[in-house]
Structure 1
């Protein structure tokens, strides 16, 4: 009798885990695909950029995506192969590395 109770509790737990995992994947459905359709390659002055988000390639998208939020609120997908984008990203990464080293 004790074995049946353990089996029932285990089955209930596994069912709950499967359902809750399925719901979390369902909620993430919009994030499991590429965000950038069109890429912007023309130069944007850095002073016009408020924030940049880098999303490396992965199972959600085979492309590396760089999304810039401009000061006017627009979001623009930048071409990661554009030379000016590479320069800005390198400057941001260098600054982040310098800040991390300064905190040590």
Structure 2
């Protein structure tokens, strides 16, 4: 009986690890990228912004900014008014 439980535990651990690795290989994170967000105005410090729509692994829209000097990535608060303006500008630039 203990052997079966051990085999099942090893199998589940292997399956979980291999599934996570295969998702990363496809460029998909198996979880949300942001654990917290920044709402302070940091517009002048931003080099680039990426918008990640909701997906099967994260129900939230995530906006990640890369800072100019440090190249640090910071998650932005999507409800902050200044972030909403940036999103509007991004969408307007993508419109044909």
TM score, norm. by length of structure 2: 0.69
* Corresponding pairs, count: 76
Give CA deviations for 1:6-26 in whole Å, capped at 9, x if unaligned: xxxxxxxxxxxxxxxxx6752
Superposition RMSD on alpha carbons, in Å? 2.1
SS in 1 for 2:87: helix
Q: Structure 2, unaligned stretches of length 5 or more?
A: 1-17
| 1:26 equivalent in structure 2 | 21
Structure richer in helix, relative to its length: 1
SS in 1 for 2:37: coil
**Partner Cα separation in structure 2 for residue 96 and residue 71 of structure 1:** 23
SS in 2 for 1:43: coil
Structure 1 position 93, deviation (Å): 1.2
Give CA deviations for 1:15-57 in whole Å, capped at 9, x if unaligned: xxxxxxxx67523257110010110001112x32111111111
TM score, norm. by length of structure 1: 0.64
